[in-house]
Amino acid sequence: MQNLKDKIAIVTGANSGMGMATVEALSDMGATVIMLCRSKQRGEEALEKLAAKKDRKLDLILCDLGDFESVRSFAKQVKERYPRVDILVNNAGFISLDRQETKEGLEMQFGINHVGHFLLTTNLLPIMGEGARIVNVSSGAHKTGKIHFDDINLHKGFNVITAYSQSKLANVLFTRELARRVKDRGITVNCCHPGAVATNIGIDRKTGFGKTITGLLKPFFQTPAQGARTAIFLASDDSVKDISGEYFYKCKIAKSSKRSKDMELAKKLYEFSEELVAEK
C-alpha cells in the first residue's frame, strides 16, 4: 500500500459506487480526502459511513457539476481551506435515457461528465504542482463516441448511446490535451475504463427507475471496490508517477479509439470547452 499521508485528494461523485470506494482506499492510504457530492443528504450519509472507521481524514464540500456557479464556488472553498491539491479523481458520472439539460442548457451527460469536470479541473490547476495527479474516469463507451461540434447539445440526434459516448470520448480527449499542457509543470493526467461495475449508475435518483435491472445484473458485474482499482492505482501507485496522457484498463495502458488519439480534435475540444465555460 502506498503512503499518501501528506496528500490532499478530491474525489467527485464521492457518495456512491466507485467514487465512494475511491475515497475509502485513498483515505486508508493516509490522504486527506475532500468528497465532492451534489446532494447534502447523500453526501452526509456517505461521510458518516466512511468516517465510522477511525483515523480517516475526510471533508465534504457540496457541488453540482451541472452548474458553473456551484463548480466555481467549490473550487473557491477548496482554495480557502487547503494549500494545494495533490490528487484529483474526476469520477462523477451521469447517464440518462431521456434528454435533460444542465443549468447552462448543456445536454446533461456532456455537461456533467465533461464540461463540469473541465471547469473544476481548470479552476483547481493553479493550486496543483509538481507530482500532482489528475485521473479522469472514462469508459469503454468512448469507442463509439463522436464529438458533435455542430450540435453539441444533441437537439437533433439525441439518444443515450450518442450522448454518453460523446461525453466519455470527451474525457479521453481532455486527458490527452491537458496532459500535454501541464507536462512542464510535472502534473500527470490519465484516464481509465473501470469495466462493468454494479453501482447506482443509470438509476433515477428521484424515482428509483433502473434499480431492478441493476439488481438483476449485479451478480455478473464487479463490485465498486473492484471497479475503482484502476482509478485508485493511477491516483496513488509509484509505478505510474511519470506516465501521462494515457488510457488504462485493469491497471494497464489499453487501446483506445482512433478518434480518442486525434490531437487536433483534442485541442479543438479543449478550446471549445474554454469558450463554453468563459465568464460572460
Beta-bridge partners for 59? 34
Evaluate whether 4 touches 30 at the Cβ level (below 8 Å). Answer: yes
Q: How many residues bind ligand NAP (CB under 6 A)?
A: 28
Q: Is 172 in the site for ligand NAP (CB under 6 A)?
A: no
CA distance 74 to 64: 9
CB 83 within 8 A of CB 127: yes
For 188, the grid coordinates are: 500527470
* Catalytic option among 164, 247, 249, 270: 164
Nearer to ligand NAP, 161 or 196 (CB): 196
Q: Is 96 helix (H, G, I), strand (E, B) or coil?
A: coil
Q: Contact with ligand NAP (CB under 6 A): which of 8, 15, 26, 265?
A: 15
| Interior/surface letters 22-53, b for 16+ CB within 10 angstroms, e for the rest | bbbbbbebbbbbbbbbbeeeebeebbeebeee
Q: Establish whether 164 is a catalytic residue.
A: yes
Q: Give the residue with the Cβ less far from ligand NAP, 2 or 222.
A: 222
Specify the stretch interacting with ligand NAP by CB under 6 A; choose among 23-31, 123-131, 193-201, 255-263.
193-201
- Residues in contact with ligand NAP, shown as a per-residue x/- string from 97 to 116 under the rule CB under 6 A: ---------------x----
Residues that bind ligand NAP (CB under 6 A): 13, 15-19, 38-39, 42, 63-66, 91-94, 112, 137, 139, 193-194, 196-197, 199-201, 205
Catalytic residues: 164
